[in-house]
Copies of this chain bind each other. A is one copy, B any other.
Amino acid sequence: MNDRFLRACRRQPVDCTPIWLMRQAGRFLPEYRQLRQQHPMLEMIKTPELAVEVTMQPLRRFDLDAAIIFADILPPVEAMGIQIEFVKGEGPAIGRPIRGMADVERLVLPAAEEIAPYTQEAIRIAARELADRVPLIGFSGAPFTLAAYLVEGGSSADYALAKRLMHQEPAAWHSLMEKLAQLVGTYLRAQVRAGAQALQMFDSWVGVLSPADYREFVLPYSRQALEMAQDSGAPVIHFTTGTTGMLETIREAGGDVIGVDWRVDLGAAWSRLGPEVGIQGNLDPLTLLAPLPKLRERAAEVLRQAAGRPGHIFNLGHGVLPDTPVDNVRALVDEVHQQSKRP
């Protein structure tokens, strides 16, 4: 088994820098789009055989150092009694958004085996298939990002409704976050029991908050979920975007590795995070649409900033974009391995 990725998560020396890409299992691959024409999104996620197939697709094409299970951050909340649907072109939506304490009180706390059982099953199958190749990453949305979805009913430009609930009904907000922290922690642990060897918690929308709001309304719950996940023994990546003004605070919430977006120099980010943590990132996904010389130049800059320190996992600063050329992804993966070879 190629254990470069797991070693880097633990800040152990590696032969070259490991690389995987957020959304590597997905939209930019022709074979994925072909499958999607035959199956709606929720069916893809809820049919373990399909989810495993999509998980494997990028590994057949590229020399990636980790697989990530094909899933979505929202379906696990169905186990709390929430109905979700995927609206074409608009992403996931919530049938009846959470707008106050009464809605929060209705949310149930499910047992581990009830949370996205199809994804847990997909992990069991994929982990067996991958046993001699690369580690499998399980993942979950973070409590804030899930709460923001549940309150807004979908994605949003400014998450005004989520912030209003936070400020105007703090008791309802804290109660919602408490339940979501339990859900996320329980679900992440269950994925390790199913066979995932590393975990990532996505707090994709938390960058809309001020550090003061983050500390008061989010940090304790992210910490709780991360600590529950780390109890499993698997390394945990804590990924956020738009938070480069408060990396120190994100780190305080926890995680073995901090995933950073492209809005900061990787070296500057690592200096601020300190040496006790690994770092994942951080190429702008749009760079994969640039001509190859520019792509290579920007990738080399990221590697130079990491300076060969143990604990760097190469990745994008966010997910691969749908119109990314497949050949550019191959070039990036190979370039990172070659450029970062240790003697």
Q: Is the CB of B168 within 8 A of A290?
A: yes
Residues of B within 8 A of A294 (CB): 167
Q: How many residues of A contact B (CB 8 A)?
A: 37
A245–B272 Cα gap in the complex (Å)?
10
Q: Is the CB of A263 within 8 A of B246?
A: yes
Residues of B within 8 A of A246 (CB): 244, 263-265, 268
**Whole-angstrom distance from the CB of A233 to the nearest CB of chain B?**
32
Q: Is the CB of B167 within 8 A of A290?
A: yes
**Whole-angstrom distance from the CB of A287 to the nearest CB of chain B?**
7
Q: Is residue A80 within 8 Å, beta carbon to beta carbon, of the partner chain?
A: no
Q: Is the CB of A321 within 8 A of B160?
A: yes
Q: Is the CB of B268 within 8 A of A210?
A: no
Residues of B within 8 A of A242 (CB): 242, 263
Map CB proximity to B onto A223-256 as digits: 1 under 8 Å, 0 otherwise: 0000000000000000000111111000000000
Q: List the interface of chain A (C-beta within 8 A of B).
A: 158, 160, 163-164, 167-168, 207, 209-213, 242-247, 261-265, 268-269, 283-284, 286-287, 289-291, 294, 298, 301, 317, 321
Q: List 26 A-B contacts (CB under 8 A).
A: A160-B286, A160-B321, A163-B284, A163-B286, A164-B286, A167-B290, A167-B291, A168-B291, A209-B284, A210-B284, A210-B287, A210-B298, A213-B284, A242-B242, A242-B263, A243-B263, A244-B246, A244-B263, A245-B245, A245-B261, A245-B264, A245-B265, A246-B263, A246-B264, A246-B265, A246-B268
